[in-house]
């Protein structure tokens, strides 16, 4: 049953890939599908997945615990990334790319779709809590390293980012959806049936939109060029195998609920963040290398993610 769901999800990847190859969907359309998935469908899915649960001690405790686990997880991965950069002697101009590639995953994009398909509303609820923490690290430590890359490339100090701009990026549509869902969850505000139907219908688009975008992204990948970059291959291995195994081994002795352990591990075995190339390009860092890291990990995740998802479901 789980394997069938995963195969069904990733079949949509090849729908997007094929639609591009026959000229139905240009690569540029992935931008618009991304906007729909992240800013419209994603928040609707989040609101319904969080708000449509009964508030109790267990759920409240799960929220706080997921916040803590996610924060510790990202802090640990940032430390791992810094160690990788030093061991592999990464050029100073590319530190930010490798740090972001190893520290941040596509939790708010592919993660929602896969968690919802495998674990249902409970898994989506838990990964939404993780995603609420992600922007705090991504738009602080992550962008700070990209700005340092830009400084090293151009030989000048990067432009300072205003507090208002940083806050605006942190409070994006998925985070706002999460906050709305949490408010409804804790205050027990009833959702009118008609509104709930609209939110559910829009939220149901998240999975196909996300997978079509992945398919469109893969049409731009250049396997031969990327495979020649040993550091990128090691990033893919660490991102998709080594780091999630470390996370799982750390979590198992704590005997957390099975779905919680599986969902946290799932978050850390996802490919690189989809927004990483855009963030790198925005500040003048190596956007091409960032795109290659995203493409390569996304490509390999078509193999690793279905296998890992089945294994996680057996926990």
Q: What percent of the chain has pLDDT over 70?
A: 90
Q: Which domains does the chain have, with CATH numbers?
A: 2-313 (1.20.1530.20)
- Check residue 164 and give its pLDDT: 67
Question: pTM (2 decimals)?
Answer: 0.79
191 token code pair = 């959702």
Strand, helix or coil at 220? coil
CB crowding 79-108: b at 16 or more within 10 Å, else e: ebbbebbeeeebeebbbbbbbbbbbbbbbb
User: CA-to-CA distance for 242 and 84, rounded, in angstroms?
Assistant: 12
Position 168 confidence tier, pLDDT thresholds 50, 70, 90: low
- Check residue 79 and give its pLDDT: 94
Q: What percent of the chain has pLDDT over 90?
A: 24
Checking if the pLDDT of 2 tops 60, the result is: no
């Amino acid at each position: 049953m789980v394997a069938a769901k995963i195969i069904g999800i990733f079949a949509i990847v090849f729908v997007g890939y094929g639609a591009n190859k026959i000229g139905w969907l240009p690569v540029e359309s992935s931008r618009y599908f991304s906007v729909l998935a992240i800013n419209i469908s994603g928040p609707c899915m989040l609101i319904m997945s969080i708000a449509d649960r009964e508030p109790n001690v267990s759920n409240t405790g799960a929220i706080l615990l997921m916040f803590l686990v996610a924060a510790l997880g990202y802090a640990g991965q940032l430390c791992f990334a810094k160690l990788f950069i030093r061991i592999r002697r990464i050029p100073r101009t590319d530190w930010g790319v490798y740090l972001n590639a190893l520290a941040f995953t596509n939790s708010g994009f592919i993660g929602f779709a896969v968690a919802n398909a495998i674990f249902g509303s409970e898994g989506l609820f838990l990964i939404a809590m993780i995603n609420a923490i992600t922007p705090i690290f991504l738009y602080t430590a992550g962008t700070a390293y990209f700005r340092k890359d830009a400084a090293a490339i151009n030989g000048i100090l990067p432009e300072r980012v205003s507090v208002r701009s940083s806050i605006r990026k942190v409070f994006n549509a998925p985070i706002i959806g999460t906050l709305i869902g949490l408010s409804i969850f804790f205050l027990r505000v009833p959702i009118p049936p008609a509104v709930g139907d609209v939110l559910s219908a829009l939220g149901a688009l998240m999975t196909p939109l996300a997978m079509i975008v992945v398919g469109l992204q893969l049409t731009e990948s250049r396997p031969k060029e990327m495979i020649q970059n040993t550091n990128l291959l090691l990033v893919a291995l660490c991102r998709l195998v080594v780091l999630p195994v470390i996370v799982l081994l750390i979590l198992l002795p704590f005997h957390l609920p099975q779905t919680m352990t599986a969902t946290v591990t799932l978050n850390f075995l996802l490919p690189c963040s989809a927004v990483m190339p855009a963030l790198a390009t925005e500040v003048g860092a190596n956007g091409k290398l960032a795109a290659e890291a995203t493409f390569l990990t996304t490509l390999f995740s078509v193999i690793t993610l279905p296998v890992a998802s089945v294994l996680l479901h057996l926990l």
